[in-house]
Amino acid sequence: MKIGVLAVQGDFAEHIAVLRRLNVECREVRLPEHLEGIDGLIVPGGESTTLSRLMSIYHLREPVVAMAQAGKAVWGTCAGMIMLAHEITEADPVPLKIMDIGVQRNAFGRQIDSFEQDLDIRGLEPGPFHAIFIRAPVVNRLGAQVKTLAALPNGQAVAVRQGNLMATAFHPELTDDTRLHQYFLDLASRSEAASPPGGEG
């Protein structure tokens, strides 16, 4: 299994460090050809307007959308969640419309723009996940096929899944807890199993 991490901007190095700790082969993705042969892609946190522009400049939008539509696992964290959304509350950045969710950027305002929260995550045992939110977005519309994996105490969805796709508003790569990365690897191994070697998948 090989996992790609979009490496044009943001905290891709932290995701790669977690994947290495889990002994997973990984690849930094900067160009469309780097997507070939990977079983899953992580779109990291960072700054979504920059991410959006760089994805256009490097011609990464179409191939990433095609990969998601082909059933490969794709996971967006924070700015990555914004990029996977169908729509956001602003005109810029331009999201990829991969997941059937609406997202509000910088949903927690300027004064309290960063916080930590223990979350119960559906499918993750045992015990809560310590989630770090940094100028985080929030899901403000959930499509019919989208499952909430975790919500804040006020009910706002901050981890969601739609088949082979997932998005988290927080930064699991900044903690020592590897359970969400493992969860993503399970999704990726299912998409790997679904596509015969050399086949169309």
Which positions are catalytic? 78, 171, 173
Is-contact 177 132, C-beta < 8 A? no
Tokens representing residue 22 in the block: 């889990």
Select 174 or 188, whichever has its Cβ closest to ligand GLN.
174
Interface residue list for ligand GLN (CB under 6 A) = 45-48, 78-79, 82, 105-106, 134-135
- Name residues whose C-beta falls within 8 Å of residue 40's C-beta, 6 or more positions apart in sequence: 1, 3, 4, 72, 73, 74, 75, 184, 185, 187, 188, 191
Q: C-beta of 49: minimal distance to ligand GLN in Å?
A: 6
**110 is known to lie in a ligand binding site:** no
Q: C-beta of 109: minimal distance to ligand GLN in Å?
A: 11
Select 164 or 168, whichever has its Cβ closest to ligand GLN.
168
**135 is known to lie in a ligand binding site:** yes
How would DSSP label each residue in 104-140? ETTTT-STT-EEEEEE--TT--SS-EEEEEES--EEE
- Name residues whose C-beta falls within 8 Å of residue 109's C-beta, 6 or more positions apart in sequence: none
Select 39 or 44, whichever has its Cβ closest to ligand GLN.
44
Distance of CA 13 to the CA centre of its chain: 15
**179 is known to lie in a ligand binding site:** no
Q: C-beta of 93: minimal distance to ligand GLN in Å?
A: 7
**198 is known to lie in a ligand binding site:** no
Binding residues for L-glutamine: 46-48, 105, 134-135
Binding residues: 46-48, 105, 134-135
